[in-house]
Structure 1
Amino acid sequence: MKRLVKFLQLRWSDRFLLVITAFLLGMIRLALWLLPFQTVHRLLARITPRTTELQQVDQDYINKVVWAVVIASPYIPGVKCLAQALATQVMVEWRGYPTQVRIGITRNKKGQLLAHAWVESQGKVVIGGAGNMACYIPVSLPEVKSDESDSWHLLT
């Protein structure tokens, strides 16, 4: 009940952002559960405009998106760093700001392979930058592009 009261005390724009974020996180989580990552990546590229020109990023908007993703994530079962990174990328790029999802791997002290995803915009980590990022070895992701007939495909 306390959480509902806090939610209702938010400004209308913040409540709307949280609802949109929770919906997007849920859809991304479901898609990652049902489909291969490359397919999800390609589908998200279809709803996200790609910008080629570098523009000044509105840091307040970025912070608000990160806030919404962090607040909404615990309410969506199974949401981890990859779904958070993809949702952040989509929402930031809806505003026309260029981003890149990064995925890195490392080994823990027991030798187990660990992976982590984060988002960068203009060389700065937007979300997912907690901890020692230097220990992660980046994995290259294929870039999603569209051809002139507007059919989408992955370039490998």
Structure 2
Amino acid sequence: MKTLCRFVQLPWSRKVLLLEAAGWLALAWLLVRTMPFRVWSRWLGTQSSGEVDLVGVERDPRVRDICLAITSISARLGDRLTCLMLAMAAQWMLSRREISSSLVLGTRTEQDAQKRLVIKAHAWVRVGSGVVLGHHEEGYIPISSFVRYHPSPERQAE
């Protein structure tokens, strides 16, 4: 009830952003849990190997609000969503606003207590040259990026 009361008191723009984030997160959850990666990966953008640096892409002030909405919804759900689901929702919301981004998939290897090799995966989102969602510790090697590029109005005029 406390959460609902706080939600009602928010400005309309914030409510709409949170509801949009909840919708995209629900879609991401559904796709990841029910369909193979090869089916829905084409909706993530143009695939390239490694990590792509979107040179010349400026950081948009809306990026922070989008990422905050996604992490807020995830926290309210008890952090049950994976980093991939969060990254998918963020990239879709950014793309809707014509903000260029890249969703990066990376892995790292560790040894567990029994000295067995364990492979861990992580997903994060980059806008310009910085990570905006899914900050991680060092050691993750970028395997693949899914890029959604939207030229800025200034570049389209050139």
Q: What range is the shorter-chain TM-score in?
A: 0.7 to 0.9
Structure 2 Cα separation of the partners of residues 23 and 142 of structure 1: 21
Query: Where does 1:121-132 land on structure 2 (aligned, <5 Å)?
Result: 121-130=127-136, 132=137
Q: Report the number of matched residues.
A: 135
Structure 2 Cα separation of the partners of residues 137 and 85 of structure 1: 17
Q: Tell me the SS of whatever aligns to 1:115.
A: strand
Residues 94 and 112 of structure 1: CA distance in aligned 2, closer, same or farther (over 3 Å) = same
**Deviation of residue 79 (structure 1)?**
1.3
Please report the RMSD computed on the Cα atoms of aligned residues, expressed in angstroms: 2.3
Q: Tell me the SS of whatever aligns to 2:73.
A: helix
* Aligned partners of 2:58 and 2:128 also within 8 Å: no
**Deviation of residue 44 (structure 1)?**
4.9
Higher relative contact order (CA 8 A, sep 6+): 2
Residue of structure 1 in register with 2:94 after alignment = 92
Give the structure-1-normalised TM-score: 0.76
Residues 128 and 70 of structure 1: CA distance in aligned 2, closer, same or farther (over 3 Å) = same
* Aligned partners of 1:29 and 1:78 also within 8 Å: no
**Deviation of residue 83 (structure 1)?**
0.5
Q: Point out where structure 2 has 5 or more consecutive residues left out of the alignment.
A: 46-53, 149-158
Structure 1 Cα separation of the partners of residues 59 and 72 of structure 2: 22
Identity of aligned residues (%): 30
Residue of structure 1 in register with 2:73 after alignment = 72
Give the structure-2-normalised TM-score: 0.75
Residue of structure 2 in register with 1:43 after alignment = 43
Q: Point out where structure 1 has 5 or more consecutive residues left out of the alignment.
A: 46-51, 145-156
For residue 71 of structure 1, what is the amino acid of its counterpart?
S
* Aligned partners of 2:84 and 2:124 also within 8 Å: yes
Residues 78 and 30 of structure 1: CA distance in aligned 2, closer, same or farther (over 3 Å) = farther
Structure 2 Cα separation of the partners of residues 53 and 122 of structure 1: 6
